[in-house]
Structure 1
Amino acid sequence: MLLKYQNWEMLDALYSTGNITQTAKHLFLSQPTLTTRIKSLEEYYGVQLIIRKQRGITFTPEGEELALHAKRMLREQTKIEEKLNNMKQEVTGTLRVGASNFFALNKMPKILRLFKQTYPNVEFQVVTGWSSDIHRRILNHDVHISFIKGDYNWNDQKELLYEEEVCIASPWNFAWGDLPKMPRIDYHTDEKMKIIADNWWYSNYEEHPNINIQVNQVETCKEMVINGLGYAIMANLVVRPYPDLVIKNLNHPTGNPITRKTWMYFHEDSLQMNIVKAFVQFIKTLDVKGL
């Protein structure tokens, strides 16, 4: 059974990465060991599973069919492990959580530490990414819980954790009319946040923003602002701990502040698992915004 599970895991990782070197690193195997295991599978099934290319690999039709079977078997294995843990009537097992990048960096470590203090027998698998990625993972049942910034289509259970203003953060004082000429620092973010910023800008200015620095992450952008290199449009929580910055909230034409919500998404049927039910109840008791 263990050998089969290892082979499923190997095929799933190989299919995801399309690269033997990356798969070997992911599974903590040497490349020769991984290659030997692939050859053993090919001999066992009597078919070629992969074709090596100059960069990476591609799966044969037979190999792809076996890789998809491996993914199904891994999911079934996870389900039976979760069911057996739940039958113990204890809060134990592995909780699979997805979190947006900012939430993962600033909230998740504290949340998981506090939860584990109450339930020491739990383990965690955490994946991070843009909110759009984490939304897809909860839709696909890849995680039990997703923490997501922004409003995404969701017809199952959700809990509003907090709402924060979207603001201008600047190292110096400014008038609204100054912004088009001021240096702006931009950062890669999910599409919904980009739409918020763009809609506000082009509702108020005819000129394009004067973007002279572009970075990958909001945390890098924040450091650029702190060091006096320009202003940025970001969620208020990112810059709230820095009183020396000038922070002005963005408003709708009605005068109401433009805000962004952070949600916890989960499936109703997953509450049948003790670990998920306990975690959801635990989150509802927390002041997540204040962590």
Structure 2
Amino acid sequence: MDYRDWEILKVLYNQKNLTKTARLLFLTQPALTTRLKHMQEDLGVTIVTRERRGVHFTPQGEYLVHCAEEALAHYEKIKENVQNMSNNESNKVVGTLKLGVSNFFANYELPYILKLFKRQFPHVEFKVITGWSRDVTQLIHNKDVHIGFVRGDYGCRGLSTHQLFEETICIASKDEIEIMNLPRLPRIEYRGDYLLKSIIDHWWAENYAQAPFISIEVDQVDTCKEMVINGLGYGILSSRVLSGIEDLSKVLITDQEGNPILRRTWMYYHKESLEWNVVKAFVHFIENYDWKYIRA
């Protein structure tokens, strides 16, 4: 059993799915299956069994997962200690930072942040996993990543949090429209995070008795934005998506008291992970970043 084997067992136990585990570990599914087979042959035990809904860990497999968590934590501590055992560079920040990042944050915010951080700490490498905010929250809870960037107010029990920024939600259209007429106007719908969808659906139910007229459905928020810019309908989008676009009509959606409905973006991490120099440096960097200058 080596480091990679322990990592496979930990991630597979959390995901209970071979396809998702392979994706997170940047492996093909056949390569992952072969690795599991070799582990079982070497140990002479069955670690997992495949079922219709995923994989099931045997008692021996459960024990090995517990060992994997201890082995990986020990290995990471050893690696950081060795990397920082330089006579004149005891405070040098090195290592690989594992980040879980929402799709929007990865596209609009993260590249510029990593560029600035890399200038300051050139010996740091990054491993980035992107996905829906709900999935990123699970990654950080499972300790598959050091730090998570999440849009929306998801559960953060047991995690340290830091709010990065908040944004309003707008009805955007090429031309000015009467809000009372929305149910009769063509809407560009996009596949967004389920929490944002629930916020918009709740707002709609409070204000309209009939369902919206969805004329076009797309997969990405950027596609929706371009459809709106070209006058094909209105979209309900966060203000950060619309940053820098001046020739659109934008109307904030508000709650029943007239307050703007806000969507917040958070940084999540486990407090104990601050023991790693690279995590501590990145958290400090983000906490002191001036978000009004972010490249959106």
With normalisation by structure 2, the TM-score equals 0.81
Is 1:197 matched up with 2:200?
Answer: yes
Instruction: Report SS of the residue matched to 1:238.
Output: coil
Q: Distance in 1 between matches of 2:17 and 2:270?
A: 31
Match of 2:155 in 1: 153
Report how many aligned residue pairs link the two structures.
287
Check conservation: 2:16, 2:54, Cα contact below 8 A.
Answer: no
Match of residue 78, structure 1, among 72, 76, 79: 76
Deviates more, 1:265-274 or 1:113-122: 265-274
Q: Distance in 2 between matches of 1:30 and 1:206?
A: 48
Match of 1:224 in 2: 227
Q: CA deviation at 1:257?
A: 1.3
Residues 1:74 and 1:246: Cα distance change in structure 2 (over 3 Å): same
Q: Distance in 2 between matches of 1:208 and 1:30?
A: 42
Residues 1:48 and 1:143: Cα distance change in structure 2 (over 3 Å): closer
Match of residue 282, structure 2, among 269, 279, 282: 279
Residues 1:262 and 1:215: Cα distance change in structure 2 (over 3 Å): same
Match of 1:44 in 2: 42
Match of 2:167 in 1: 164
Match of 2:258 in 1: 255
Q: CA deviation at 1:13?
A: 6.8
Write out aligned runs for 1:31-180 (5 A).
40-47=38-45, 61=58, 64-65=61-62, 68=65, 71-72=68-69, 73-85=71-83, 88-154=90-156, 156-180=159-183
Q: CA deviation at 1:68?
A: 2.9
Q: Match for 2:293: what amino acid?
A: G
Unaligned runs of 5+ in 1: none
Instruction: Report SS of the residue matched to 2:291.
Output: coil
Is 1:239 matched up with 2:236?
Answer: no
Q: CA deviation at 1:102?
A: 0.8
With normalisation by structure 1, the TM-score equals 0.82
Q: Distance in 2 between matches of 1:204 and 1:197?
A: 11
Check conservation: 1:9, 1:70, Cα contact below 8 A.
Answer: no
Instruction: Report SS of the residue matched to 2:162.
Output: strand
Instruction: Report SS of the residue matched to 2:255.
Output: coil
Residues 1:253 and 1:65: Cα distance change in structure 2 (over 3 Å): closer
Match of 1:288 in 2: 291
Deviates more, 1:230-239 or 1:66-75: 66-75
Q: CA deviation at 1:268?
A: 2.8
Q: Distance in 2 between matches of 1:183 and 1:17?
A: 41
Check conservation: 1:107, 1:288, Cα contact below 8 A.
Answer: no
Unaligned runs of 5+ in 2: none
Q: CA deviation at 1:197?
A: 0.6
Q: CA deviation at 1:228?
A: 2.3
Q: Distance in 1 between matches of 2:140 and 2:18?
A: 26
1:245-266 C-alpha deviation (Å, 9 max, x unpaired): 2111112222221111112223
Check conservation: 1:86, 1:273, Cα contact below 8 A.
Answer: no
Q: Distance in 2 between matches of 1:24 and 1:242?
A: 36
Q: Match for 1:80: what amino acid?
A: I
Q: Match for 1:247: what amino acid?
A: K
Instruction: Report SS of the residue matched to 2:115.
Output: helix
Residues 1:12 and 1:266: Cα distance change in structure 2 (over 3 Å): closer
